[in-house]
Structure 1
């Protein structure tokens, strides 16, 4: 699936337009609206690939793209906040127990709190792609947190393998982006384009993995999505 993921956007007639737009939007994602465009596009990738359609989407229907991207961003933010909250609570608990005084016991407790927070962060990162895939199939924010649907998928080896491949693609893309970004003038844009391309390739893998795992969801008694796309 790696070669298919890498070549996914290349199959589009609008490959240059899509990747350049996506890179520019990713570069200016701090303005939020461009960020919504990026994640709205990712939602379309998930929706198509999870239904066996390997034709890359294009940037169009901007209102729908923005709404879907905003909803996906809410899901991402919610999962990102989990390890942050856990870390704050654990550090506060350690400070309360030790009285804020340094010492070997306090240092060990802080290290343990850091490890627990890291584990929670990895767990949240593991759930996020499946949550976004389920959201893409229903367009409901709550679908991103529907544990009854997500649990059988998350516990499958098929999803774990797909997740690792997707993470590997993003890591390699980030590494290449980091090399390109310091180049004067065009570097940041080229780095963002590579980052966008890697993100799309990763979610191509996630979409197909979700499609492969859909039988697991059905076997667990969860019905197929009805196709309705309510506001929330």
Structure 2
């Protein structure tokens, strides 16, 4: 699947044009609005892969693309609230502890413990969000209903499947590879210019990996339990 995912963004007659548009949009991400179109394209890619289309979609129907991206952004923002809230709570608790106890060693120890526990909790939850979020987006894409992205019954079908886990690991591996490439590009002057294009390419390839894994899950299509739907060991 890894090699197929890396090849996927290059398939089709419009591949170069699509990657160019996606890279430019990410390059302009500081304007915020272009991000919605990129997220919308990723959702469209997932939908296309789930439907069994062999080639990546193109950038068109910009209104629908932007609306799709806005919904994906809302889903991602909602999932990020929990680790963010814990981090903010740790900051508040640390400030309150220092305010009540002064600058003594006891207060310093308490603050250090709060930071350690909060840091571990944020790390674990962030990893969990990173794993579940693609499944949530797939649930939305499959149903065209944003509420499905938060439905436990929908998420369990994906998150506890070995097939989904494999697709996610492939997408994660592609993301790491993109990070290495971007790091190498940053060593040269044009690195900052090319990085958005590499990022877009990796996101499309990752969407293919996740979408392909979900498409191969019998439990998702049948809506029932299969051996693959058992929790991964």
The range that moved more, 82-91 or 190-199, is 82-91
Are 1:182 and 1:188, in contact at CA under 8 Å, matched by a contact in 2? Answer: no
Q: Kindly state the Cα deviation for residue 52 of structure 1 after the two structures are TM-superposed.
A: 1.8
What's the offset of the Cα at 1:194? 0.9
Q: 1:194-209 maps to which residues of 2 (within 5 A)?
A: 194-209=198-213
Q: CA deviation at 1:144?
A: 1.6
Match of 2:231 in 1: none
TM-score, scaled to structure 1:
0.86
CA distance in 2, matches of 1:170, 1:16: 20
Superposed CA deviations along residues 32-89 of structure 1, whole A, max 9, x for unmatched, are 2211111111011100111222221001111111111111111111112221012212
The 3 A distance-change label for structure 1 pair 198 and 118 is same
Task: Give the whole-Å Cα distance in 1 for the aligned partners of 2:93 and 2:194.
Answer: 44
For residue 96 of structure 1, report the CA deviation from its aligned partner. Answer: 4.1
Larger Rg: 2
Within the candidate set 169, 176, 192, 1:188 is matched to 192
Which residue of structure 1 aligns with residue 56 of structure 2? Answer: 56
1:152 counterpart = 2:121? no
Partner Cα distance (2:217, 2:81) in 1:
27
Q: Distance in 2 between matches of 1:28 and 1:166?
A: 24
Give 2:146's aligned residue.
141
Structure 1's 214 and 74: CA in aligned 2 closer, same or farther, altered over 3 A? Answer: farther
Residues matched between the structures, number: 220
Q: What SS does structure 2 have at the residue aligned with 1:53? A: coil
- Secondary structure, in 3 states, of the residue corresponding to 2:111? helix
Q: Distance in 1 between matches of 2:192 and 2:108?
A: 44
Mapped contact 1:12–1:55 kept (Cα < 8 A): yes
**Aligned with 1:130 (options 124, 130, 135):** 135
Tell me the residue number matched to 1:164: 169
State which drifts further: 97-106 or 9-18.
Answer: 97-106
Runs (4+) off by over 3 Å: 93-102
Q: 1:100 to 1:169 in 2, by over 3 A?
A: farther
Q: CA deviation at 1:15?
A: 1.2
How far apart in 2 are the matches of 1:143 and 1:214?
Answer: 19
Deviation by residue 1:110-167 (Cα, 9 ceiling, x = unmatched): 2111101111111111111001111111222222212211123212222222212211
User: 1:153 touches 1:159 (CA, 8 Å); kept in 2?
Assistant: yes
Segments of structure 1 that go 5 or more residues without pairing to the other structure are 221-232
Structure 2 counterparts to residues 14-93 of structure 1, below 5 A: 14-93=14-93
TM-score (norm 2): 0.86
Q: Which residue of 2 aligns with 1:176?
A: 181
CA contact (8 A) 1:68 1:139 kept: no
